[in-house]
Amino acid sequence: MTASVFIDGAAGTTGLEIAERLASRADFTVLTLPDDRRKDDAARAELLNDADFAILCLPDEAAVAAVGMIRNDRTRVIDASTAHRVADGWTYGFPELVGEAAVREARFVSNPGCYPTGFLALVAPLVRAGLIPADWPYGCHAVSGYSGGGKALIERYEGADDARATAPSFRAYGLAGGHKHLPEMKVHAGLAREPLFSPAVLPTFRGMIVEVALPASAYIGHDADTLRNALSGFYAGSPIVTVRAPDPAMGELLLPATMAPWDGIDLYVFGGARGEQARLIAVLDNLGKGASGAALQNLNVMAGLPADAGLRLDR
């Protein structure tokens, strides 16, 4: 017997990709609304209550309202918005960090943000192990494909014939701080303060690199190899998170201009030649493990399936 899924907000970038991925799977049945009823609250409420699983791909306020439309104690929810990522009663949907059992048993699961996925994958295990401090003023530099900005940013890059010529080749933003991802980065890494977060956008549709640079004073008594080995042990056996040993000849990390859809995440720890620094780097697809792929992984776990069922993990 297949489980039913309703994607509320299926016309957005994340929702479209989830719907396309589920369409080829026999273990789920996707409940859909005609285009002219997508914003009909009565029709949405009916499917939210009919579905075994509801995946919310909505703005924050709309996601909160959608949860309020569920009148039963049966429908299970995955929320891809920011609204519930640090909310009481919600399980953070990063199975590698919170444990698959927690996600499997949860009724309400909040899908992580794309940037926080990279940051937390690197930092949270090391803080838990006591290898780096919880009260350090961490900085996080990250670049993402423009699809992470939703329809408005995609339009800016693709909307006109000359969009690629006139759109920025590098777009730094969040310059005044207060980015919406900061609360989950702090809370789920177990930090005493929010990191200094410097996000930017590149003229590529998908893909993301997240970096946390550490001076040696942040990991006194250890070295880059210790940090890398701790991450390798933490993610041992994961089919989705891979800790890569850097090739001695490796002088660069590249983000392809035409990255293929991918649901994995690669982690690196590079050490300075004189042991004076470590650079923690995560490479992922902002629409894969950073959004739609993570939602599908959470859906798999909640439905009692292997976490990597139907995921795109080949590169």
pLDDT digits (tens, 9 = 90+) for 150-187: 888 888 888 766 655 677 888 899 998 889 999 999 99
Answer for the pair 139, 198: CB distance below 8 angstroms, yes or no. Answer: yes
Residues of the chain with CATH 3.30.360.10: 114-287
Q: Return d(Cα 67, Cα 71) in angstroms, integer.
A: 9
Q: Which two tokens stand for residue 64?
A: 């909160």
Record the pTM. 0.95
Token pair 């995921």 in the structure block, residue: 311
From first CA to last CA, the distance across the chain in angstroms is 32
**Spelled out in words, what is the top-level CATH class assigned to the domain 3-112+291-302?**
alpha beta
Q: Does domain 114-287 have CATH number 3.40.50.150?
A: no
Q: Residue 133, exposed/middle/buried by CB under 10 A (0-12, 13-18, 19+)?
A: middle
- Considering the chain, tell me which residue range(s) the CATH 3.40.50.720 domain(s) occupy: 3-112+291-302
57 is a catalytic site residue:
no
Per residue in 13-44, pLDDT (tens digit) is 999 999 999 999 999 999 999 888 888 899 99
In this prediction, the residues of the chain whose per-residue pLDDT falls under 50 are none
Catalytic residue among 63, 114, 185, 299: 114
pLDDT for the residue numbered 164 = 58
